[in-house]
Amino acid sequence: MPRKSAEAAERRPEIEGAGWYASPAGRRQTQREFERALRNGALIRSPGARIPRTNPEVLETLLEQAKANATRPVSIRLPIADIELAKSIASKQGIGYQTVLKQAMRKGLGRAAPVGESRIRRG
């Protein structure tokens, strides 16, 4: 009967490989490969998939929309007076003060964007 450590050693490459794909470097590599396949029109679908092959331009549009809707937490220092003003505006509008701050940032970034820069409008 083989020892347990020998069994674990045999499975280690699988586990390490799976761990690499879950790491930031693995996710970046997977994203690069996906984008390369998207550009080359080499995306394939598995035989069991029921979704028809999608036009690469449509996929690119969907990726851009996903990026526009994705969020990332950030930490930023703001003057207390600005936060209090945002809270005052938010209470009058019946929304959260962070929403007011995000709307103000989006408007400001839209004005500051260079001509021809992609501006994504969200409600």
- For the chain, give the percent of residues with pLDDT over 70: 69
Please give the residue range of the domain that contains residue 13: 1-70
pLDDT value of position 17: 64
The CA–CA distances, whole Å, from 106 to 34, 48, 123 equal 29, 42, 10
Q: Mean pLDDT throughout 31-56?
A: 71
Q: Mean pLDDT throughout 99-117?
A: 88
The number of domains in the chain is 2
Q: Mean pLDDT throughout 5-14?
A: 52
Q: Which two tokens stand for residue 85?
A: 């003003």
47: pLDDT strictly greater than 90: no
pLDDT value of position 77: 95
Same domain, 38 and 83: no
Residue finishing a domain among 52, 70, 88: 70
The CA–CA distances, whole Å, from 71 to 65, 67, 89 equal 12, 8, 23
pLDDT value of position 10: 55
31: pLDDT strictly greater than 80: yes
Same domain, 28 and 76: no
